[in-house]
Amino acid sequence: MYLEAVLRSSAPHAKPTGLILQYGTAGFRTKAEYLDHVMYRMGLLAVLRSKKTKSVIGVMVTASHNPEEDNGVKLVDPMGEMLAQEWEVYATNLANAEEHELQLVLTNIIKQDSINMQQESFVAIGRDTRPSSESLSCAVIDGVTSLDSKFHDYGLVTTPQLHYIICCRNTDGGYGEPTIEGYYQKLSKAFKELVQQAPGCGGEPICLNVDGANGIGALKLKEMESYLQSVLSIQLFNDSSKGKLNYMCGADYVKVQQKSPEGLDMKPAEPYCSFDGDADRIVYYYNDVNNVFHLLDGDKIATLISTFIKELLLKVNLNLKMAVVQTAYANGSSTRYLEEVIKVPVYCAKTGVKHLHHKAQEFDIGVYFEANGHGTVLFSKKAEEQIKQLTQTGATEKIKKAAEMLENVINLINQTVGDAISDMLVIEAILFLKGLTIQKWDEIYTDLPNRQLKVTVADRKVIETTDAERQTIKPPGLQEKIDELVKTYSMARAFVRPSGTEDVVRVYAEADTQENADALAHKVCLAVFSLAGGVGDQPKPLR
């Protein structure tokens, strides 16, 4: 009976015939005009997921760092984490079902997961600032209400803010107050307390230049400024007042182009950072006195945060297992520094935040960042309890102070997902407490020169990888050829992996000089083109 209402409500959200989409790490993402039916159906799926888990489930309408004309959607699970992998299959099947198949696909999901349709459900919805986001979030609401579910539309929020709210609601406020104001209050209180633990604190506020990518992060940072007054002074660029979302600005632009965003007149030695379109990524950068651009990406961020936490752990003398999780894209210099200097174990996971998050959960303290600036720190319940205990009981003053710093770091970090605002505040607090300029932070280790390229192929599925995507097992002979090429350069490393969304093979290479990294990347591209069915023109040298 309830499915009849679903089918009636589905009529205004008809699926374009033949359109096939795949739910991946980033959910669904494509041109906005193709997504109305997907949004309606993800509203349906969120209700089913809520009934199954007996929890509040989130639906975020965003396409993150994609161009403004794109949009997308991702579901948020009960603890603020990404949708469970087995439900990604349900999402894909539901989105791709033709209208006459919709009832059968829904029935199969209900049966396969033994979902009690009498169970109450609740869905929380958020959206970014794209012109298409409001109407697409209305399609989500249509899906939710067609199954008689309760919901709350939070309107304009960053992706991490919705993840935070979901976790708060499902822990009965244990993680914080489930409102945007609650988010601002929790983070600003932890930031202020952390900064005030620095010797001689109380002078001029910390100053930072922020590129908001003309997105939701800019709007929310403006709202938060009043909570941070007297401690942090922000100069906001690309603040959504003019300019196009993610166009020649934002974290992805800065990372890929290796240059500052449009709209910034960079002053030498001043620190700058960029958010992406939905504020779940951040990168830092500066120009030196010779006007040379320097990028501090996710690897540099992970190293700074790990160093700080490790130093505090040594002071409190807690036997907690800490590790850093990276992907194959992490710069080799960062891995060596973490393992050999900081003495923190490093693990490699497959590309995609869900893989890093899952691996980081295995440790008492798991730090993970992708090179693109998406990452966070996870603290186990055991770690949180032991640290809290030290702030309350008969520890020495030195131990108590270090434990209080750790507790503030725990409260400042958004453990549900990478969060540009939260990560920015953590970084600024650490730099202030350690008395580091952005240049001194950058000098902790020197990145190996590297190059990322891509090769168009007829079918990306011919590439199969193992060892967290660092080795290829198909096609035959490709890995042997890569190994042979790597041996001809000093401090070299290279790997290839298929794109998750298009028929291209991504190539990464690093070596002792930029010239050698470029040459190695080009030669690996030629090997891929030859052995993996390259199409179009043969890859050309960079120089």
How far is the C-alpha of 158 from the C-alpha of 280, rounded, in Å?
A: 8
Q: Count the alpha carbons within 13 Å of 413 in the hemisphere toward its beta carbon.
A: 25
To the query of whether residue 380 is one of the catalytic residues in this protein, the response is no
CB 400 within 8 A of CB 390: yes
Token pair 């779940």 in the structure block, residue: 280
Token pair 């393992």 in the structure block, residue: 339
Q: Is 493 annotated as a binding residue?
A: no
Q: Is 371 annotated as a binding residue?
A: yes
Q: Is 375 annotated as a binding residue?
A: no
| Neighbour tally for 100: CB within 10 Å | 8
How far is the C-alpha of 381 from the C-alpha of 365, rounded, in Å?
A: 10
Where does 33-179 have alpha helices with state H? 36-53, 85-96, 102-112, 133-146, 159-170
Please name the amino acid found at residue 130: R
Enumerate the β-bridge partners of residue 207: 233
Q: Is 280 annotated as a binding residue?
A: yes
Nearest to 246, CA basis, from 214, 268, 219, 273 = 214
Q: What single DSSP character describes residue 271?
A: -
Which pair of structure tokens corresponds to residue 427?
A: 């970084």
Q: Is 265 annotated as a binding residue?
A: no
- Determine the 3-state secondary structure of 57 from DSSP: strand
- Determine the 3-state secondary structure of 239 from DSSP: coil
Q: Is 205 annotated as a binding residue?
A: no
**449: cis peptide before it, omega within 30°?**
no
Q: DSSP readout, 408-451?
A: HHHHHS-TTS--HHHHHHHHHHHHHHHT--HHHHHTTS-PPPEE
Q: Which residues fall within 8 angstroms of residue 431, CB to CB, at 6 or more apart?
A: 304, 437, 438, 441
CA triplet 355, 357, 361: central angle to 5 degrees? 120
In sign, the C-alpha dihedral spanning 213, 217, 220, 224 is: negative
- C-alpha distances in Å from residue 409, one per residue of 173, 188, 214, 221, 377: 19, 12, 28, 19, 9
Q: Is 50 annotated as a binding residue?
A: no
Sheet of strand 282-287, all strands in order from the earlier edge strand to the far edge: 232-237, 206-211, 272-275, 282-287, 293-296
9, 10, 50, 64: the active-site residue: 64
Q: Is 172 annotated as a binding residue?
A: no
Binding residue positions for Mg(2+): 64, 276, 278, 280
Binding residue positions: 64, 276, 278, 280, 370-372, 497-501, 506
Report the catalytic residues: 64
Binding residue positions for substrate: 370-372, 497-501, 506
